[in-house]
Structure 1
Amino acid sequence: MTDPRPTQLLEAVPDRLHIAGRWRPAAGGATLAVTDPATGDVLKNVADATPDDGLAALTAAADAAARWARTAPRERAEILRRAFDLLMERKEDVALLMTLEMGKPLDQSRGEVAYGGEFLRWFSEEAPRVTGRYGISPEGTGRMIVTRHPVGPCYLITPWNFPLAMATRKIAPALAAGCTVVVKPAEATPLTTLYLARILAEAGLPAGVVNVVTTSSPGPVSEAIIADPRLRKLSFTGSTPVGRTLLKQAAGGILRTSMELGGNAPFVVFDDADLDQAVEGALAAKFRNIGQACTAANRFLVHRSVAEEFTERVTKRVAEFRMGPGTQEGVTIGPLIDDAAVTKSATLVRDAVDRGAHLRLGGEPVAGPGSYYPATVLSDVPPSSELLREEIFGPVLAVVPFDDEDDAVRLANATEYGLVSYVWTQDLARGQRMIERLATGMMGLNMGVVSNAAAPFGGWKASGLGREGGAEGIAEYLETKYTLTPDPFA
């Protein structure tokens, strides 16, 4: 018997734009199809926004900005907390929705609901804690008052790979700070964001504070919104090339920007590492989200003395993975987001093998329906291979041997990216040195997963600007004002 739950869930997801508290069709009446990457079937048609729709959403955010900024921090906090509670009540529905539109295994979608929900809870607690300071000027001639204020209407562009967590990681701190927002989810996975908007409305969020525009024309829609002088903040998660384009557009309005961009994470295993733990960490760092994460380990740099043993252990474990639709319990590797992603993984693997890498497992695309590429292990990958320079964004684990610590650091830092690194060693002093020497904004020291709502997420170099999460996350949505007053005792 066919499971009726997906059909009932999809019917509960709004199919229109959310602007000024109303669900409305796109200006031209056009729709875009959201497909299931496991089958290629259309899940739902949703409104396809035009630039005029984007500007209407910005108008709604601008109109609501002053009122929301004046809302008591405790009230903002309670709305975010109610949204968290509602999300937890519906965690199975939200997890299924993400698996349907993005493809990740259901247990990983459940993990994303827990992770994404934490941003609502964390920033509900941060909202009342926005503080300033008061003090005597050094000369004693006056009093200095430093206050923090909402930056204003924000435009939030989220990616397809974590449909819930990337939305809550941006929306929650913006609302906590007193900002209103326009959210543009990725064309491939808009359903989760639409459902989240419904949850926020049920939690009591006033009309116009969060507006959602779904579109198959992200360039024109974004360009119109970014060019509007009412916009004061741009936050984007996605590729570095698109981030560079958006930064150029944001320069005209001198917008505050947060950019969470590409990665090329090194996973460094030293000869003294606990290999059992390193293998477990490697599986988490590489294959979570089917390898489709900016934090996914891209280059496995393993000391030459343990490289073969590490590779054999990893290959044995990966061979046990089960590939199939993410809705089936027990599946480890679901479909990639689309056929283009399959082609990219296959091309990068073929290039590495042609240059001399050894294919230990996988390596061949799987015939449809669905966009499947198997978990793949490569060893002795030559430095000239494209997959060592380009973010794979697929389930491909590539092992590169190194000889000593300096060699490991050189290989790890040999990239324009600097998002995250992973280091496995039992030598405390070496671990401390690697913290200092690796040019990344985050590090997992004997840990394969680093993301946490209470921690600042972000990278160095071409991996982006600003931080999301932690106490630092809300600061991205606040302006600072300094006021000098006369000495009251003069």
Structure 2
Amino acid sequence: MTTTSTREEELLAQLPTGILINGVWRSAGSGETFAVVDPATGETLAQVADGSAEDGIAALDAADAAADAWAATAPRKRGEILRRAFDLCQEHADDLALLMTMEMGKPLAEARGEVTYGSEFLRWFSEEAVRISGRYGSNPEGTGTTIVSHRPVGPCYLITPWNFPLAMLTRKIGPALAAGCTVVVKPAELTPLTSLFFAGLLLEAGVPAGVVNIVTSTDAAGVSSAIMADPRLRKISFTGSTPVGKKLLKQAADNVLRTSMELGGNAPFLVFDDADLDKAVDGAMLAKFRNIGEACTAANRFFVQKDVADEFSRRLTERVKALGVGRGTEDGVSIGPLINAAAVDKSADLVADATSRGATVLTGGSRIDGPGTFFEPTVLNGITPGTRLLREEIFGPVAAIATFETEQEGVDLANDTEFGLIAYAFTTDLARGHRLIGSLRAGMVGLNAGVVSNAAAPFGGVKSSGLGREGGAEGIHEYLDTIYALLPTTTA
């Protein structure tokens, strides 16, 4: 595998590695640091500050002190700052993409795509900042005037995951700042470098001191517990696993915090016998193998109608066999390393469970010797009920194919999960497509589409996949309280 290049070394040399509190980069209170590792090589990229619960409270102190002034800042000015941040992301797109590839592993082309997608939340919410509206009108009884307005919820705690280091951050920071909220951010310890670089861009864009604070830490539970126990915090937004989300929801109940939870997924991918198979395979490649399969929106369970199952499996396998594996900075690479050894172990265990229950490996199926944490892009068919691949979020480049006979059976299989983030379906029958939008129990549906995420659309799930929405017109209201006032009618 290729080791660190001169350009990578230059980028790392200029990267802030402390925690950001009240506009100042500083060391952790303990002076401790932790290593950020390139999963493609196992080499240490940087040592960053290992913040503690005390650092988290110091960040909340800064966010609270800045809250009133930021809330009172004109919406147009808040929007202009976010727009400058968007412009800076475009200007530094290559740096952001390279950092993501280095610390997370995704291919450089996909990292560039994430910069485009992630920065769009800054542009979208820069425009939404000036469109926070209310209502004014007579009440039904005619005895007074109803006034409905909105105000920022207050200091927010944002916890971001490792798999989309930029996009999950901008998707939270964009609406929070547009609404007039200040924030404390706890990025994932596996991929904090992109967040630190982006925070520097926010300062350059003119975000005032204390409005955005970043605490990197290996003690996520300790930092989060301290911040969430403080009554000054008014909202938490978390993207991550469902078990962790449930724990945070229990903690949030103590201070009745506003919550946004984007949790796990177990996305079904339905292929009906009337589907355009070329489009279905194209969609499958995007829905399953984009981001190395490490996405909550990744297709997890492929259900293919029996008459086309063999042909779909053949075409998908042919495409997967052609995927290049390696460090994301190398030419021709479509599949980078998984985030760590535990992720490789999980993929291997899931494949072993499936084959022990009668599944057939059509391609791949094995871990790849290091350096780095790689797993072969894999296709299996003959998946049977009870297989762990049907129940557990894979988070790896493994496609598991099962079959169904009738539309209702396909829908029932798709809905047979505690999760409900997204569902994919491929059919050329317009009436069936409309039925599926209503019958698939998911917060999002990709109908003849393998990617649905867009800054202008509400992202989020139902059931154990979470609460609230990010993006779209809905996204900013997650950071606003609704205020109702009544003005009684007066008579002369």
Do the two structures share a fold, i.e. TM-score over 0.5?
A: yes
SS where residue 221 of structure 1 aligns?
A: helix
| Partner Cα distance (2:114, 2:368) in 1 | 27
Q: 2:346 aligns with which of 327, 336, 344?
A: 344
Q: 2:195 aligns with which of 186, 193, 196?
A: 193
| Partner Cα distance (2:336, 2:116) in 1 | 20
**What CA deviation, in whole Å up to 9, does each residue of 1:234-266 have, x standing for no partner?**
000000000000000000000000000000000
Q: 1:451 aligns with which of 446, 450, 453?
A: 453
Match of 2:240 in 1: 238
Percent identical residues:
65
Task: Report the alpha carbon displacement of residue 141 of structure 1 after superposing the two structures with TM.
Answer: 1.0
Task: Report the alpha carbon displacement of residue 368 of structure 1 after superposing the two structures with TM.
Answer: 0.5
**What CA deviation, in whole Å up to 9, does each residue of 1:381-406 have, x standing for no partner?**
01110011000000000100000101
Task: Report the alpha carbon displacement of residue 6 of structure 1 after superposing the two structures with TM.
Answer: 0.2
Match of 1:121 in 2: 123
Task: Report the alpha carbon displacement of residue 3 of structure 1 after superposing the two structures with TM.
Answer: 3.2
SS where residue 306 of structure 1 aligns?
A: helix
Match of 1:166 in 2: 168
Aligned-partner residue type, residue 83 of structure 2:
R
Match of 1:405 in 2: 407
- Pairing of 1:70-469 with structure 2 (within 5 A): 70-469=72-471
| Partner Cα distance (2:101, 2:491) in 1 | 65
Aligned-partner residue type, residue 171 of structure 2:
R
Q: Is the 8 A contact 1:335 1:370 kept in 2?
A: yes
**What CA deviation, in whole Å up to 9, does each residue of 1:133-162 have, x standing for no partner?**
100111111111101000000000000000
SS where residue 68 of structure 2 aligns?
A: helix
| Partner Cα distance (2:254, 2:5) in 1 | 51
**What CA deviation, in whole Å up to 9, does each residue of 1:287-306 have, x standing for no partner?**
00000000000000000000
Q: 1:55 aligns with which of 54, 57, 67?
A: 57
| Partner Cα distance (2:110, 2:133) in 1 | 37
Aligned-partner residue type, residue 37 of structure 2:
T
**What CA deviation, in whole Å up to 9, does each residue of 1:179-213 have, x standing for no partner?**
00000000000000001100000000000000000
SS where residue 367 of structure 2 aligns?
A: coil
Aligned-partner residue type, residue 253 of structure 2:
A
**What CA deviation, in whole Å up to 9, does each residue of 1:282-339 have, x standing for no partner?**
0000000000000000000000000000000000010000000001122000000000
Task: Report the alpha carbon displacement of residue 423 of structure 1 after superposing the two structures with TM.
Answer: 0.5
Structure 1 residue runs of 5 or longer lacking an equivalent are: none
| Partner Cα distance (1:472, 1:330) in 2 | 39
Aligned residues: 490
**What CA deviation, in whole Å up to 9, does each residue of 1:153-177 have, x standing for no partner?**
0000000000000000000000000
Aligned-partner residue type, residue 116 of structure 1:
G
SS where residue 35 of structure 2 aligns?
A: strand
Change in CA separation of 1:2 and 1:325 when aligned onto 2, cut-off 3 Å: closer
Q: Is the 8 A contact 1:290 1:334 kept in 2?
A: yes
Structure 2 residue runs of 5 or longer lacking an equivalent are: none
SS where residue 278 of structure 1 aligns?
A: helix
TM-score of the aligned structures, taking structure 1 as reference length: 0.99
**What CA deviation, in whole Å up to 9, does each residue of 1:97-117 have, x standing for no partner?**
000000000000000000000
**What CA deviation, in whole Å up to 9, does each residue of 1:3-30 have, x standing for no partner?**
3110111112101000000001000000
Q: Is the 8 A contact 1:345 1:392 kept in 2?
A: yes
List, as ranges, runs of 4+ consecutive aligned residues in structure 1 with deviation greater than 2 Å: none
Q: Is the 8 A contact 1:106 1:329 kept in 2?
A: no
Aligned-partner residue type, residue 483 of structure 1:
A
